[in-house]
């Protein structure tokens, strides 16, 4: 009797311990070259946690995160326990000769991101390269300027 009670308590403690890790959602942000599909390392990524009215922001968590993509073109962070309704995510590319929809921050619904994943700049890729974000992932697709764009960029920049 005592032994079965001990094992039952042990199982409940184990389940509670595992359960605490399941709620911590890791969000991954990737930046890739839309022409070749190669990752873009060392790109600055900023994330803002946007809490709505009535949502409680965690006390010991930065609302604005500044990250950098690694060699594989990805940066990641863990959402706090009180998950925000929206995220504002943007990337600043190191070269001025890249075109990407990531210059202006993207407003992302957190639940949609966790369930489906988000692709920004999908229309910039060639049809030969499949672009798909996994659940919990934001994928920024950038492409290098064409020669024509590089020549006229200084004139447009003003």
Sketch the domain layout of the chain as residue ranges: 25-157
pLDDT value at residue 18: 47
Question: 0.85 exceeded by the pTM?
Answer: no
Q: Note the residue count of the chain.
A: 158
**3-state SS, residue 117:** coil
What is the strand order of the sheet 86-92 is part of? 64-68, 44-50, 86-92, 106-109
Residues 31-54 pLDDT 10s: 988 888 889 999 999 999 998 888
Rounded CA gap, 75 and 143, in Å? 19
What gap in Å lies between CA 79 and CA 7, rounded to an integer? Answer: 33
Question: Which pLDDT score, from 0 to 100, does residue 157 have?
Answer: 60
Q: For position 94, what pLDDT does the model report?
A: 78
- Residues 49-98 have pLDDT tens digits of 998 888 887 777 778 999 999 999 999 999 988 889 999 999 888 776 67
Using DSSP bridges, classify how beta strands 44-50 and 64-68 pair: parallel, antiparallel or unpaired.
Answer: antiparallel
Collapsing DSSP to helix, strand or coil, 12 comes out as helix
Residue 92's DSSP bridge partners are 44
Pick the residue with more confidence: 131 or 119? 119
Reply yes or no on whether the pLDDT at 20 is more than 50: no
What CATH code is assigned to 25-157?
2.60.40.1120
Q: Which two tokens stand for residue 85?
A: 């309704």
Higher pLDDT, residue 122 or 81 = 81
């Amino acid at each position: 009797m005592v032994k079965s009670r001990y094992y039952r308590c042990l199982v409940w403690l184990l389940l509670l311990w595992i359960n605490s890790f399941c709620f911590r959602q890791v969000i991954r942000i990737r930046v890739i070259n839309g022409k070749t599909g190669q990752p873009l390392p060392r790109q600055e990524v900023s994330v803002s946690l946007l809490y709505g009215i009535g949502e409680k922001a965690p006390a010991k968590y930065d609302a604005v995160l500044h990250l950098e993509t690694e060699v594989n073109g990805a940066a990641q962070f863990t959402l706090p326990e009180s998950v925000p309704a929206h995220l504002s995510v943007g990337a600043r590319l190191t070269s001025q000769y890249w075109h990407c929809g990531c210059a202006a921050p993207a407003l992302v619904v957190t639940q949609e991101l966790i369930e489906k994943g988000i692709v920004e700049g999908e229309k910039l890729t060639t049809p030969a390269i499949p672009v798909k974000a996994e659940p919990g992932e934001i994928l920024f697709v950038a492409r290098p300027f064409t020669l024509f764009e590089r020549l006229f960029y200084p004139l447009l920049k003003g």
